[in-house]
Amino acid sequence: MPDTCVHLSQIAESVSPKTPNGCEECLVSGDGWMNLRLCLHCGHVGCCESSKNKHAAAHFSGTSHPIIESFGSPEKWRWCYVHQMYVE
C-alpha cells in the first residue's frame, strides 16, 4: 500500500453537496441512514458503511470516484476507497 494517495488530484476544486439534507438515494426511497459521506469528485452525498444501504460505497463502485469526506458531523476526515486509507 502506498504512503500517499495519488487520487488526491481527483478532488474537485469546489464541491457542493447535491443533497445537503441527506443521502441522495435514501431521501428518494424514504430510508434512513447513520452517517453521511460526500464524494469530493462530484458532490454526491451517500450513507456510510454502517447504514443499511451503503450508498456512498455503491457510488464509488458505480463511478470510481475514489475520495470521500465525512459529511454533516463535527468530525472531519477523508478516505480513499482505492487505497483503503485515510488521506489529507
Assess whether pLDDT exceeds 70 at residue 1: no
Enter the C-alpha cell of residue 47.
450513507
Quick: pLDDT tens for 32-57: 999 999 999 999 999 999 999 999 99
The domains located in the chain, with CATH, are 6-87 (3.30.40.10)
Assess whether pLDDT exceeds 70 at residue 16: yes
Spatial separation of the C-alpha atoms in residues 3 and 60, rounded to whole Å? 21
pTM over the 0.75 mark: yes
